[in-house]
Amino acid sequence: MAKEITWTRNAAGRMVPSEINGEPVIPYQGVGKYAPTGHKHGPPIPSCRDYPPDGNKRVASLKEALVKAGLRDGMTISTHHHFRNGDYLANMIFDIAHELGVKDLRWFPSASFPCHEHLIPYLEDGTIHHIEGSMNGPLGRFASEGKMKGTGVLRSHGGRYQAVQDGEVHIDIAVIGAACADPFGNANGLYGPSATGLLGFALADSQYADRVIVVTDNMVPFPCVPWQIQGNYVDYTVEVDKLGDPEKIISGTTRITRSPDRLYLAELTARFCEVTGIIREGFSFQTGAGGTSLAVGEYFREIMKKKGIKARFARGGSNKYLVSMLEEGLVEYILDGQTFDLEGVRSMAENPNHVWTSPFTSYNYHGKGNFAGMVDVVILGATEVDVQFNANVVTHSDGYLLHGIGGWQNCLFSKTVILPIPLFRDRIPVVVDEVTTLCGPGELIDVIVTERGIAINPRRKDLIEKVKGSDLPVKSIEQLKEEAEKICGKPRKAAFTDKVIAAIKWVDGTVIDVVRQVKKDER
Amino acid sequence: MKDTVKLISSVGNDGSKVRSDCQITLQIKDSGGLVVDLTSKVKSMYGDRMEALTREVLTFFGIPHAEVRIIDSGSLDFVLAARLEAAVKKIHPGEKREYLPEMLPDNEYSSQRDAFRFSRLYLPGNTPALMLNAGIHKPDGIILDLEDSVAPDKKEEARYLVRNALRQVNFYGAERMVRINPLPTGLDDLAAVIPHNVHMILVPKAEDPADLRLIDETIRKTLKEHDLEQEVFLMPIIETALGVERAYDLATAVPSVVAMAIGLEDLTADLGVARTAEGTETFYARTRLVNACKAAGIQPIDSVFSDVSDMEGLEANALRSRALGFEGMGCIHPRQIRVIRKAFSPTPEEIEKAARIMEAFREAREKGLGVVALGSKMIDPPVVKRAERIMRLAEETGSLPGKD
């Protein structure tokens, strides 16, 4: 047995353990406080003599590729979420691992989706030891009930890149699903039945993993261009029938919410940006693909058109609404992190101003800067926000882990961070005393927009000054919390056991909080 | 005890799309105390509180032994209490006591005869999820509907829900309206809702002035019984050919009638014609209604526009309504509110006139004059009030000159 785990209170006031899965971890020290030292992690030196001189790295099956890559107990296998809820690949990999009787794998996805519920039997039988990556829906519920053998580790997209670069996570085998690839391993997400736009989430894995397998359902003769993934990093290429269910990989068309309450939130958010002058000539913005975020973009469009304003760039996931802003000249560049619909895929393939990015350019902590801080305003969601403006995106107030972090933590470094959120959802207050799980420190969160009022972080005296005299319903965050409690009642805190089921990493690799096993109601 | 009475009842709503509601199955027993079986995703947060409320309500109604099964989708206390009361009264129809949640002090505001009624948002009376945020969208009025949007077997439970919503849901200043059922059911509706600061009663399928007089009388009687002194206005809805022919008699049936609406869905059915977007088939009915209202000095209100995704059609419809003399429309979706308000909001000329009246009023007040005059014309206090409201609305709807 290893030495006893000790607990310390980190800089955010959260109790965190000295180790996770037997590895020592560093407690969160504050925003920008942790200074890593040493050198980046390096994969073994490959040489051309070990690869086919004609560049044809094709093997007959995924199973053969995995065997050749040396799949064995205890390895770390990475996958990527470009196929979202339509992904077949991760499920195929662990079907094979199970068939081969391999145990104790660490699965290192850039995100998981409800379609990966298929893997629960493998978590139960020990094929997979634990997941380091988002755990959405069924997998999160499984982990929250304390059923996963190891402890989950949740990182942001930037934090995942950081963990790969500094060697915190050593990837044994990276399996990269690509909509289009050649036998050498050059790959992109642009063309074919499983088109996803880009492959940015697999970039670090291609460069740092010991072994890299590219799997495609659209093998083209060399060269596959553009090579978003460079074949020079790739060990094996495999052609399969189908990488995923196209209908679920990408929505044919994204739709703006029709919920009047969400539209109201979106409009109020856009008006806030108008009143405070955030929307001005040459500004930049990032909105997510959630219904409310999409709607914020549409209200931005109205304001920009009315005032004759152009944005220099929009960052984040692309969709048909953003593409039409690009094509109408309202936005000069889209710096795309993931493509949410077919219009986004089309635009990226044909418009040089629709640029694909990766977590390295946008979010990574071990770079010489990144794009996140250059964005004027970012619109994000949250499951809970507390009176210190701290926010939670991974657990619900009942304690269950149900979402991943995505790029959320990284985006907090934007110049203004706005969270449009309902004050409560089906009796669950969203503005609370203290968040169940801390994912983002309040010092980085500037504005909370709810249907019953807008709260501005007292640190943002400039914004407070700018809304003076406007008709925006500005309130204090405490007022909002009280209003939520007045309507819903004061909720009882979720009850947990002592068992830690997941660690939440900050963007620099330190532990900002942990998630514990939910205590089942005995009544 | 009552061996012939059915001792089990089921009320409320459950289903994948149901939110902020609950379904209750109540079985009254001879012994065993109160057994509460709660299924809810907010159980860990509010389970204790919901169980305590359940016990309190059943104890209030003198039920010591029962099994209560609650399937909850995030119901607030006032919803749960209304459902429990409905479950009890379904078993004991003679039960006259009422379990009333606290009246929010925010809900004690009043309305006025000449309040603007541009947009009134219909809220199905048995669907709590749609009530909670209704006021956020700033309709001029909200209508808690007990009539067409409530299934016949849900009429009674909707009554308790609407009553509790009137006490517990903050509609943020919207005029508080209830659409009752046609008589005689409507009289039971009145008894349930009138004591809870209802500003206006909408009377569907109005054809007979005598009905309006009976409703008015019932309201007065109910208010008196509860020691309340307030005015409750009536808005008859004309939905039949006979109603159209009697428009003026209905408009003048009792002084509490301050507005009259037309319901085109039922009217076109009664006329045996198809309803079109242009509305030629109901042109006579609508102009007849407008004329009757103007003659009676009350507000004519147009029908709802039923395609909630067609905002352009809605706008065209609202502008046509206004041109015919209507002073408002019903809304069946919050997104319609803004379009309608914009279409009915004051024109630049009205705003200019209101601004001059307000200026004259301020001047008179500064000089300590009791009478306000604009040029040689005396201005009555209601006119000043209306001018003030126009200015506020102009501000609110962004119609003030110099904006944009």
Q: What is the DSSP string of A141-169?
A: HHHHTT-SSS-EEE--HHHHHHHHHTTSS
Distances from the Cα of A410 to the Cα of A361, A395, A507, angstroms: 12, 18, 7
CA–CA distance, B269 with B282 (Å, rounded to integer): 11
pLDDT at A126: 96
Which of A132-141, A244-253, A312-321 is the least confident region? A244-253
Task: Say if A54-132+169-249 and A260-495 have the same CATH topology.
Answer: yes
- Residue pLDDT, tens place only, A406-420: 999 999 999 999 999
CA–CA distance, A301 with A329 (Å, rounded to integer): 11
The residue extents of the domains of chain A are 54-132+169-249, 260-495
Shortest CA distance to B396 belongs to which of B350, B345, B332?
B345
Interface contact A522, partner B, CB < 8 A: no
pLDDT at B6: 66
Sign of the alpha-carbon dihedral angle for A337, A341, A342, A343: negative
Type of residue found at A431: V
Chain B contact residues (CB < 8 Å to A): 19-20, 41-49, 73-77, 129, 132-133, 136-137, 333-335, 404
- Number of cross-chain residue pairs from A and B with Cβ atoms under 8 Å apart: 65
- Residue pLDDT, tens place only, A148-198: 999 999 999 999 999 999 999 999 999 999 999 999 999 999 999 999 889
Residues of A in contact with B333 (CB under 8 A): 260
Q: Cis check for the bond before B64: say yes or no (omega within 30 of 0).
A: no
Interface contact flag, B136 A452, Cβ < 8 Å: yes
Type of residue found at A408: W
Contacts for B24 with CB less than 8 Å, ≥ 6 apart: B10, B11, B12, B68, B69, B70, B71, B83, B84, B86, B87
- % of residues, chain B, pLDDT over 90: 79
Shortest CA distance to B212 belongs to which of B234, B179, B184?
B234
CB count in 10 Å sphere of residue B261? 28
- The mean predicted confidence, pLDDT, of chain B is 93
Interface contact flag, A426 B44, Cβ < 8 Å: no
H/E segment holding residue B266: helix B264-271
Distances from the Cα of B289 to the Cα of A87, B284, B326, angstroms: 61, 8, 9
Q: What is the DSSP string of B234-245?
A: EEEEE-SHHHHH
CB A403 within 8 A of CB A449: no
CA–CA distance, A20 with A168 (Å, rounded to integer): 12
Type of residue found at B95: E
CB count in 10 Å sphere of residue A367? 16
Tell me how long chain A is.
Answer: 523
In chain B, the N- to C-terminal Cα span, in Å, equals 73
In the block, tokens 């044809």 appear at A56
Type of residue found at A132: E
CA distance A491 to chain B (A): 5
* Burial of residue A285, with CB atoms counted within 10 A of its CB: 0-12 exposed, 13-18 middle, 19 or more buried: buried
How large is the average pLDDT for residues B60-89?
A: 97
- Residue pLDDT, tens place only, B355-382: 999 988 888 888 887 777 877 778 888 7
pLDDT at B367: 84
- Statement: residue B152 has pLDDT above 70: yes
**Which residue in chain B is spatially nearest to A451 when comparing CA positions?**
B136
Shortest CA distance to A481 belongs to which of A417, A416, A397, A377?
A397
- Statement: residue A1 has pLDDT above 60: no
Selected for mutation to probe chain A from B40, B43, B44, B339 (highest A CB count within 10 Å) is B44
**Which residue in chain B is spatially nearest to A492 when comparing CA positions?**
B45
Q: Which of B49, B334, B404 sits opposite A260 (nearest CB)?
A: B334
CB count in 10 Å sphere of residue B55? 17
Residue A246 DSSP one-character state: H
Distance, CA of B233 to chain centre: 12
CA distance A193 to chain B (A): 33
Interface contact flag, B75 A427, Cβ < 8 Å: yes
Q: Which of B44, B334, B335 sits opposite A521 (nearest CB)?
A: B44
| Phi, psi dihedral angles at A106 (to 5 degrees) | -100, 120
- % of residues, chain B, pLDDT over 70: 96
Residue B354 DSSP one-character state: H
- Residue pLDDT, tens place only, B117-136: 999 999 999 999 999 999 99
Interface contact flag, A428 B42, Cβ < 8 Å: yes
Type of residue found at A478: E
**Which residue in chain A is spatially nearest to B335 when comparing CA positions?**
A260
Which of A504-513, B53-62, B128-137, B347-356 is the least confident region? B347-356
In the block, tokens 């009388």 appear at B217
- Statement: residue B354 has pLDDT above 50: yes
CA–CA distance, A504 with A157 (Å, rounded to integer): 13
Q: Which CATH superfamily is domain A260-495 in?
A: Glutaconate Coenzyme A-transferase (3.40.1080.10)
CA distance A82 to chain B (A): 29
Interface contact A43, partner B, CB < 8 A: no
**Exposed e or buried b for every residue in A18-51, given b needs 16+ CB within 10 A?**
ebbeeeebbbbbebeebeeeeeebeeeeeeeeeb
Residues of B in contact with A397 (CB under 8 A): 45
Distances from the Cα of A520 to the Cα of A9, A140, A428, B75, angstroms: 26, 15, 18, 22
Shortest CA distance to B101 belongs to which of B13, B196, B181?
B196
Interface contact flag, A489 B77, Cβ < 8 Å: yes
Interface contact flag, A521 B43, Cβ < 8 Å: yes
Residues of A in contact with B133 (CB under 8 A): 260-261, 451
Interface contact flag, B46 A492, Cβ < 8 Å: yes
Fold of the domain spanning B105-344: TIM Barrel (3.20.20)
CB count in 10 Å sphere of residue A13? 12
pLDDT at A302: 95
- % of residues, chain A, pLDDT over 70: 98
pLDDT at B398: 65
Residues of B in contact with A260 (CB under 8 A): 133, 137, 333-335
How large is the average pLDDT for residues A80-87?
A: 93
pLDDT at B401: 60
Q: What is the DSSP string of B63-127?
A: --SEEEEEEESS--HHHHHHHHHHHHHHH-TT-----PPPPPGGG-----TT---SEEEEEETT-
Interface contact A292, partner B, CB < 8 A: no
- The mean predicted confidence, pLDDT, of chain A is 94
CA–CA distance, A479 with A460 (Å, rounded to integer): 18
CB A362 within 8 A of CB A313: no
- Statement: residue B287 has pLDDT above 70: yes
In the block, tokens 């307030």 appear at B230
| Residue A403 backbone zone (phi > 0: left; psi -120 to 50: alpha; other: beta) | beta
Contacts for A258 with CB less than 8 Å, ≥ 6 apart: none
CB B160 within 8 A of CB B190: no
Type of residue found at A237: T
Fold of the domain spanning A54-132+169-249: Glutaconate Coenzyme A-transferase (3.40.1080)
Interface contact A264, partner B, CB < 8 A: yes
How large is the average pLDDT for residues A98-108?
A: 98
- Residue pLDDT, tens place only, A306-362: 999 999 999 988 889 999 999 999 999 999 998 888 899 999 999 999 999 999 999
Q: Which of A399, A426, A489 sits opposite B20 (nearest CB)?
A: A426
Confidence of residue A516 (pLDDT cuts 50, 70, 90): very high
How large is the average pLDDT for residues A434-448?
A: 97
Shortest CA distance to A104 belongs to which of A167, A160, A172, A43?
A172
pLDDT at B370: 74
- Statement: residue B403 has pLDDT above 50: no
H/E segment holding residue B27: strand B22-28
pLDDT at A197: 87
Name A334's bridge partners: A314, A354
How large is the average pLDDT for residues B63-88?
A: 97
- Statement: residue A66 has pLDDT above 50: yes
CA–CA distance, A343 with A322 (Å, rounded to integer): 9
CB A365 within 8 A of CB A159: yes
Residues of A in contact with B44 (CB under 8 A): 398-399, 492, 494-495, 518, 521
Confidence of residue A251 (pLDDT cuts 50, 70, 90): low
Residues of B in contact with A492 (CB under 8 A): 44-49
Confidence of residue A521 (pLDDT cuts 50, 70, 90): low
Selected for mutation to probe chain B from A303, A424, A426, A496 (highest B CB count within 10 Å) is A426
Interface contact A303, partner B, CB < 8 A: no
H/E segment holding residue B314: helix B311-324
How large is the average pLDDT for residues B64-90?
A: 97
CA–CA distance, A212 with A69 (Å, rounded to integer): 8
CA–CA distance, A398 with A188 (Å, rounded to integer): 40
Interface contact A302, partner B, CB < 8 A: no
Pick the CATH number of B8-91 from 3.30.230, 2.40.50, 3.30.70, 3.40.91: 3.30.230
CA distance B303 to chain A (A): 21
CB A113 within 8 A of CB A81: yes
**Which two three-digit tokens encode residue A326?**
């690009």
Residue A229 DSSP one-character state: B
CB A69 within 8 A of CB A176: no
CA distance A63 to chain B (A): 41
| Phi, psi dihedral angles at A201 (to 5 degrees) | -70, -15
Interface contact flag, B44 A495, Cβ < 8 Å: yes
Confidence of residue A288 (pLDDT cuts 50, 70, 90): confident
CA distance A291 to chain B (A): 16
Q: Which of B49, B75, B133 sits opposite A261 (nearest CB)?
A: B133
**Which two three-digit tokens encode residue B233?**
């206005």
CA distance B392 to chain A (A): 12
pLDDT at A124: 97
Residues of B in contact with A495 (CB under 8 A): 44
Residues of A in contact with B75 (CB under 8 A): 427
Which of B157-166, B204-213, B273-282, B343-352 is the least confident region? B343-352
CB B128 within 8 A of CB B20: yes
CA–CA distance, B303 with B245 (Å, rounded to integer): 17
CB count in 10 Å sphere of residue B43? 18
Q: What is the DSSP string of B318-336?
A: HHHHHHHT---EEESSTHH
Strand A431-432 and strand A384-386: pairing?
parallel
| Phi, psi dihedral angles at B129 (to 5 degrees) | -55, -35
Type of residue found at A161: Y
| Phi, psi dihedral angles at A285 (to 5 degrees) | -150, 160
Distances from the Cα of A513 to the Cα of A129, A152, A445, angstroms: 21, 12, 17
Residues of A in contact with B137 (CB under 8 A): 260, 264
